[in-house]
Amino acid sequence: ATYLQGDRAASRQAYTEAIALSQASGDIFTTILATIGLGNVQEAENQLHQAAETYRRVLHLAGEQPLQIVHEAHLGLARILYEWNDLDAAERHGEQSLQLAQQYDRVIDRFILCEVFLARLKQARGDMTGMAALLAQAARSARQQHFVHRLPEVAAAQVVLLLCQGDLAAAAHLAETHKLAVSRARVHLAQGDNATTLAILEPLRQQAETRQWADERLKVMILQAVAHHEHGNHDEAMQILADTLALAAPGGFIRLFIDEGLPMARLLSAAAMREMMPDYIEELLAAFAAERAPCQEPASPPSAQPSRAQWGQSPLAQQTLAIEPLSQRELEVLRLIAQGLSNHEIGDRLFLALDTVKGHNRRIFDKLQVQRRTEAVARAREWGLL
């Protein structure tokens, strides 16, 4: 009850007491239930490593018993592994969770949460058709089985899908129908209306901070950082990003950033120029470079170059672009280009051969979609990289 009311400190204490009492009395089923609850609290508090261990403890306690309730532990592990960008392991646990949840004969609503999670996983793999099918199935089930209280969660994922497909009107209608504040913010971000986005997000952040909801605070802050950066408020964006990184690093969050697409890649590249949390940002940029944009469908012809408006859209509207953030070395070269150094001088400064410097220049120009040094510097400043 306290967890559902949002009082996570009281919830943690109650679950901890329940674990102690049930263990003392040898009640394994209640121990499992309470341990799952503790994992939920830890996960909500962004304590992903602790939560993962707690969920694994549940699976160990259950052993070989075919307990349907352990689907919650599988789903919790799936969410955490997804966040750590281990998509294969996340899928395995997600599928196990769904199989167990379906054994309830659909008299309990948990299978819907499994389907929504697996839909998100399909998005991360670039399978938008599969994502659409799973969400349609989840929405159908929610209505047919009278689990209408789950429709907002399904709708939030559908908003993401619609933004990927470029259907902003349908996304806006769905967000308004279900009164999804964060989804509304995403729609306005996709429309380029950053001021409205920020106006929606600020009270949400204040509420999350007042109620000490660590997970909600992080979700809001990352959108605030993107919106400020897209709005040209680079210093404000950097400050919020620094706070976000500090909160996210202990839990090892990766997908939180990757799922925001190109605007986040640009923002992180700009932060790398300022040498902000270099190890963590390097890990995130490497993860960006290793995959295609989350919303990318089959690539458009090479001649179809994106407009500035496309680059400024929400990450969920990037349908034709591969994410190619600048590497750490490319950022160093770009900074020296902006200082007016020649290729020879850059080579001397960084102890690089001239051909190596020229190779970095070509890759920088390709990624920034420019032809010459002056354009590269202008584009980098426009995107807040300098």
What does the pLDDT read at residue 64?
80
Question: pLDDT per residue over 18-52, tens digit each?
Answer: 999 999 999 999 999 999 999 999 999 999 999 99
Both structure tokens of 128:
């938008």
The half-sphere exposure of 4 on its side-chain side, counting CA atoms within 13 A, is 1
Q: Tell me the average pLDDT across 213-222.
A: 96
Confidence at residue 308, expressed as pLDDT on a 0 to 100 scale: 33
258-277: per-residue pLDDT in tens? 999 888 988 998 898 888 99
Q: What are phi and psi of 302, to 5 degrees?
A: -55, -30
Q: Which of 251, 207, 379, 239 is nearest to 308 (CA)?
A: 379
Q: What is the pLDDT of residue 301?
A: 35
Q: What is the DSSP string of 292-348?
A: --TT--SPPPTT-PPPHHHHHS-GGG--S----PPPHHHHHHHHHHHTT--HHHHHH
Q: What is the mean pLDDT of residues 318-327?
A: 52
pLDDT averaged over every residue in the chain: 87
Number of separate helices (H) and strands (E) present in the chain:
22, 0
pTM of the full structure: 0.79
- Which pLDDT score, from 0 to 100, does residue 291 have? 72
Structure confidence at residue 324 (pLDDT) = 64
Return the higher-pLDDT residue of 316 and 170: 170
For residues 126 and 88, is the Cβ–Cβ distance under 8 A?
no
Rounded Cα gap, residues 316 and 167, in angstroms: 11
